[in-house]
Structure 1
Amino acid sequence: MRKITVIGSMNMDLVANVDHMPKVGETIIGKSFEEIPGGKGANQAVAIARLGGQVHMIGKLGDDGFGKTLLEGLTKDKICVEGVKIETNTPSGVALITVSEEGDNSIIVVPGANFTLNKEDIDKNIQIIKESDFLVLQLEVPLDTVKYSLKCAKELGVYTVLNPAPAQKLDDMIIKNIDLLIPNETELEILTGIEINNEEDVLRASKNLIEKGVKSLIVTLGSKGSMYIDKKGFKKFQAHKVKAIDTTAAGDSFIGGVCVCLSEGKTIEEAIRYGSRVGALTVTKKGAQRSLPYKEEIEALKED
Structure 2
Amino acid sequence: MSNKIAVLGSINVDTTYHMDRFPQPGETLQAKDKSSAPGGKGANQSVACARSGAKTYHIGMVGADQEGQFMRESMQEDGIDTKFVGIDKMHGTGTAMITLDAEGQNDIMVYGGANQAMTTDVLKNTDDLFKEIDFIITQFETPQKVSAEAFKRAKENGVTTILNPAPAKDIDPELLKYTDVIAPNETESALLTGIEITDEDSMIKTAEYFKAKGVPNLLITLGSKGVFYSTPNDHGLVPAFKVKPVDTTAAGDTFIGALTSQLKTDLSNIADALVYAQRASSLTVQKMGAAPSIPTYDEVKAALAESGK
TM-score band, normalised by the shorter chain?
over 0.9
Q: Distance in 2 between matches of 1:79 and 1:171?
A: 29
Q: Stretches of 4+ moved more than 6 A in 1? A: none
CA contact (8 A) 1:4 1:263 kept: no
Residue number in structure 1 paired with 2:300: 298
Q: Give SS of 1:102's match.
A: coil
Q: Which residue of 1 aligns with 2:160?
A: 159
For the 8 Å contact 1:254–1:276, the answer to whether it is kept is yes
Distance in structure 2 (CA, Å) of the matches to 1:106 and 1:5: 28
Partner of 2:20: 19
Give, in whole Å, the separation in 1 of the partners of 2:194 and 2:130. Answer: 32
Q: Tell me, what secondary structure is at the counterpart of 2:230?
A: strand
Distance in 2, Cα, partners of 1:180 & 1:150: 12
Query: Which residue in 2 is equivalent to 1:260?
Result: 261
What residue identity is the alignment partner of 1:98?
T
Tell me if the contact between 2:91 and 2:117 (Cα under 8 Å) persists in the aligned partners.
no
Q: Contact 2:120–2:149 at 8 Å: present in 1 too?
A: yes
TM-score by length of 1: 0.96
Q: In the TM superposition, what whole-angstrom CA distance separates every residue of 1:44-66 from its partner, at most 9, and x where no partner exists?
A: 00111111111111100101111
Consecutive unaligned residues in structure 2, runs of 5 or more = none
Q: Post-superposition shift, 1:127?
A: 2.2
Q: Tell me, what secondary structure is at the counterpart of 1:285? A: coil
Q: Secondary structure at the match of 2:124?
A: helix
Shift of 1:105: 0.8
Q: Which amino acid in the other structure matches residue 298 of structure 1? A: V
Match of 2:105? 104
| Residue of structure 2 equivalent to 1:185 | 186
Offset at 1:90?
2.1
For 1:285, the aligned partner's letter is K
Number of residue pairs aligned between Structure 1 and Structure 2:
304
Deviations 1:150-181 (A, max 9, x none): 11211221100110011111132221211111
Gaps of 5+ in 1: none
TM-score when scaled to structure 2? 0.95
1:303 Cα offset (Å): 1.6
Greater Cα offset, 137-146 or 120-129 = 120-129
Take 2:125 and 2:134, find their aligned partners in 1: how far apart are those partners? Answer: 18
* RMSD of aligned residue pairs (Cα, Å): 1.5
| Structure 1 residue 273 corresponds to structure 2 residue 275 | yes
Instruction: Tell me the SS of whatever aligns to 1:124.
Output: coil
- Residue 171, structure 1, aligned to residue 178, structure 2: no
Deviates more, 1:166-175 or 1:176-185: 166-175
Partner of 2:291: 289
1:210/1:231 contact within 8 Å kept: no
Aligned to 1:216: 217
- The percentage of aligned residue pairs carrying the same residue is 40
8 Å contact kept, 1:248–1:287: yes
CA contact (8 A) 2:144 2:172 kept: no
1:82, 1:197 → 2: CA distance?
Answer: 43
Q: Deviations over 1:215-256 (max 9, x none)?
A: 101100000101001234420111001110000000010111
Partner of residue 5, structure 1: 6
Distance 1:3 1:209 in 2: 26
